[in-house]
A and B are shown apart, each in its own frame.
Chain A
């Protein structure tokens, strides 16, 4: 297991902004710490190879706000350890100054004020600028650019072009290999088509056709960089057919396949690889466990759980990198390779502050071309928000509360269920709610907003099942994501209890009465993984509701009582 002494702060130097002695309230001194592009890129090169990692971009082509979670509980061996730290504890651990640009990028408190100071993050033209600057500085033949997946889904343009926009952008960026998860929600045929069109090798060692158990995609690929042979093994999200509609990928089986990872590593070594990299979509905690059980992996580029850390975690010889999401960050990892071993490394999480980074002109042009046919739809202002709308958090997000409220109102339901997705942008108080903002939180290929009856007992079973997929003490049983959000119902959860015993005190908020086990309630929800689910697309439901309310205000949610953390 990973112990505290294994945690490194490789990038302490890069983040050596003084601790906030005497800074006063958060954000007070922020304005003095504006970053420049040079600050962001500053890096003392090491060794002969640079790996650049982007992941979980969720099809966000243009800069946005994205608030990191204020609640991100770790259980079992991960309890209280990075990445399961938030706000002050996170800043203390990584030596990030309060009110600094990094504090804004990485933590959630004081989000609104810092967002106004530091502006939006991400944007693929900014990412392109950073990538080309690193290539220019280091020499393109020494740089390997890898994408951890969840790239083709998450925006209106990606949904309308069925992922094609992102393939164009990632091809222009020069990604050399990728793995995947939400990509599969376009279905088998489309994934194959796009994998073909993608210049990046589409790697996934853990997908088999379920008739012959044969690999569907290339498991790994070797890249020669700076004179070193780097074997990259792809690991798609192991639970895709459980977490997303299996009917869209009926012929494919996934799974963690730990023994096969070991086999891939051994084969790569036998073929003379100097470095072995796992390009993974397992989720951070799963990879932290895997690193202690599979021998010979030098680097795991983690994804899925959207964790961003300004330093790496090591487990034995394995270095784990967490690059965050939505194009907010690019990871740079320099490796000094000697005698087929990583003799040294240097890491920096480059924050993509859109105001500080000069956009890459060619990429800006491509993005404009892609967005042009949809410009009118995207820009349509449906309403405004008076309060911060965000998604991340283990139990609540105000954007999800808005979606739940929309379902209760528009679908005439007593209870609303909205999934604990970790993607989707953040809106600041006073921001317009454009159709693009709604789509950023809802754009999926199975959007039907269903309406059905469920008993209190059924609802509890659903919550227990999902809670076990998040708070199971063994990371191999964790699916990533956050608790389903409830509209109209409050509950208590003991995250350290066992399956079936975590959820209690289910209460119908309207009446204040306990939910009755045998009574049927009208429930609205969306993102059902069942085939043939009926109902209007969720974005229409949210749009109608916001249009009716004109200005929305979502109060902090206190309906979930958490214990055992």
Chain B
């Protein structure tokens, strides 16, 4: 589950503080079966609506340094006006006991649909982000994070 909100740089603090107020950790509940089942359930959550690839950028490490606190940043490319904005970003981890990681909610006042936090990952798995736009359209992206015990050499 998501840890405390962590900001990427000091410069971003003010900007991000606005977001923090809007963020909440209430991702829809899913129970873990396997990656395929989780994917199917995510589709179900959105009434089987089409999810387009793109616009959502997921910044996660390819290899986690510490599965207990894996940094994650989501960023959605979109205007943030009353007419057209990002309502929310939901993040799922398809190999965790509880796949729902977090939901960040945004408003036009957020200025930008971008947020960072940390999550706990039990094993190597896919991270799926779904962005909900004000017009009801959905965008998604996926990234794999490897959780390893290591093995060192040089």
Contact = CB atoms under 8 A, between A and B. Distances in A.
A283 B154 contact: yes
Given A212-B10, A469-B148, A150 B154 contact: yes
Contacts of B48: none
B8 A213 contact: yes
A67 B7 CA distance: 48
The size bracket of the interface on B is 20 to 34
Contacts of B66: 241, 246
A303 interface: yes
A242 interface: yes
Nearest to B69: A210
A239 B61 CA distance: 11
A181 B152 CA distance: 11
Interface residues of A, number: 47
Interface stretch (A102-110, A157-165, A473-481, A490-498): A473-481
B6 A470 contact: no
Interface in B19-64: 61-63
Interface in A372-403: none
Contact of B151 (A150, A479, A499): A479
Nearest to A527: B152
B150 interface: yes
Interface in A213-250: 213-214, 237, 239, 241-244, 246
Contacts of A303: 154
Main SS of the interface on chain A? loop
A129 to B, nearest CB: 26
B151 A465 contact: yes
Contacts of A242: 63, 65, 148-150, 152
A420 interface: yes
A241 B6 CA distance: 20
A246 B66 CA distance: 8
A56 B151 contact: no
Interface string A240-272: 011110100000011110000000000000000
Interface in B127-154: 146, 148-154
Contact of B153 (A468, A477, A479, A529): A479
29 contacts: A214-B10, A239-B152, A241-B66, A242-B63, A242-B65, A242-B149, A242-B152, A244-B152, A246-B65, A253-B71, A254-B65, A255-B63, A281-B154, A419-B151, A419-B152, A420-B151, A421-B152, A423-B154, A465-B148, A465-B150, A465-B151, A466-B149, A468-B148, A469-B150, A470-B151, A477-B63, A481-B151, A482-B153, A483-B151
Interface of B: 6-10, 61-63, 65-66, 69, 71, 124, 146, 148-154
